[in-house]
Structure 1
Amino acid sequence: MTTKVVPGSLVALPDGEAVAREAANRLGNCIRNAIDTHGYATVALSGGSTPGPAYAALAENSRIDWAKVEFFFVDERAVPPDSPRSNYRMVKEALFDRVPIPAERIHRMQGEALDLAAAAREYDLEIRSRLRWSESGMAEFDVGVFGIGDDGHTASLFPGEPTVDKTDRLVVDVPAAGNREARLTLTAPVIEQMRVALVLAVGKNKQEPLERVWAASGDVHVTPARYLREVRSVIWLIDKAASGLG
């Protein structure tokens, strides 16, 4: 039997709706705590079907001073911002359109750029200019929201691809592969330096990749989501099905 070590905190909830509510509450708390401590909060958001309801629930939180929140993205597909596959569009509809966030506080990745490598460099510079830096010399987000793919990826760090090993950049472009679009993504060092990572996993198909992430030993080249184990405070918000109990 594979030895399992769950880093951080594990919160198992009845269903996806409960995961969304809990994620919204915890994300709101992280934002308020950062504002109270530093005067502003920096947040990195992921796309996908699971975080969407959490962002919609967060929009109902009237106790957040939205003018003091800087929103960034964990990754983005190489599509226009109005594409149904755009992470930005999903977050915009679920959250940005529903709360008074100044436009200059929203930092989207330019997924539609013809030169994605240049877009990655520009986003890298944008992060460097806006974030606080840790003692170890890395940009430090107050909180990030992540998912886990059925193949064990997180952000757009995919198994067996060279972007998994990128450590000299904060943001890189990810080439297209098969039916998958090219993308932009944060790199592993930025992910590891998050003050808090909220990891959302819903559905039975997440049980196996979670087991690989939580295994006491494993290879990030096979399961890139294992990088999340290094975050100083990582909270796993999963439903019964993902836990294997549903």
Structure 2
Amino acid sequence: MTVPANLAAPLLAGAEVLVLFATTDLALSATALNTATLAALGGSWRTGAVIRVKVLPGVTLIAASAAAACFSFGAEFAGNTVIFDNQGTVYGRGGTGGQGGTGVYRGGGGGGGVPLGAGGAANTGSTVGKPGGTGGIAVQTAVPLQVSNAGVIAGGGGGGGGAGGGGNGSGTGTPTAGATATQSTAGGGGTTTGNSATYANAGGTGGALGVAGGTGKRPQDFGATSGDAAGAGGAAGAAIAVAGGAVTYLVRGTIYGAAP
């Protein structure tokens, strides 16, 4: 990311301040937006400016964690005209797959959601499959925000639920972990083997951009007469979430996931 040099001080009322993101970052820090904006403002928050946050074409930015938005415009931006000018790709991070359950049928873990959501572990100390993690938010705002989107804004896909464990029979099961998602492809659920049969994708598949993860499977889904529940797929992250602010679209563009 870059900021303009030699800003005049004090900043003139109504002057435009450019906060430029020009480099791809597949694990963007939750503090990156504030750090770059403060530098552009000369080191202190102020009011009366036009703050334009611009992502250049060809630049991909993915939140470092599904727990925080890729870009979060907080209350410190209040009192300014704030424009999010996206010409690149801005993603919330995909949710983590749920862990599979233990038991005779040891459930495979769920797959990670797009992009880059981690796959769930093969099984846990419980026979019940764990739910997939919620996908991350791409853009969140607590202030009025003007959006000009000539690129892509997408919430992270939810993680797949872990497969349920338990069940009857003599096979002890050999579970595998769910796969980590790529930037464009959801992670598949882990497999499990029990009673000499292999059950592919027993864990739920991770969600695509802005889509919930798949539910894991129970032993009964494979013909067993007993077993415990699988985990539900994780919810998708929002593309744009409003937390007390408001959104006005100058250009709506391509959006995957919930948005006002």
Structure with more of its chain in strand, by fraction: 2
When Rg is computed on C-alpha atoms for both structures, the one with the higher figure is 2
Identify which of structures 1 and 2 has the higher relative contact order when contacts are C-alpha pairs closer than 8 Å and 6+ apart.
1
Common fold by TM > 0.5: no
TM-score (norm 1): 0.26
TM-score (norm 2): 0.25
